[in-house]
Structure 1
């Protein structure tokens, strides 16, 4: 899997981007892993 190849410097969260609670969870887990967030890239896409 690509994520495993990237190692500990990469995290993946599948979540509903319109959900404030989901975002709180993502930020919490990211800060637990990396420390305080300075930059956040919200990369959500759709397939039509």
Structure 2
């Protein structure tokens, strides 16, 4: 497994625990038996 991040890639990885943050948009992925795949983007409602 790739455990140590490559410093050549400037990614802000969250490892070893959670990071408190306000999440306004999220991507939800689901996989199931028989090739079932779906994706849904959900966003916080702001009136």
The structure with more strand, counted as a fraction of residues: 2
TM exceeds 0.5? no
- Higher RCO (Cα < 8 Å, 6 or more apart): 2
* Larger CA Rg, structure 1 vs 2: 2
User: TM-score under structure 1 normalisation?
Assistant: 0.22
User: TM-score under structure 2 normalisation?
Assistant: 0.22
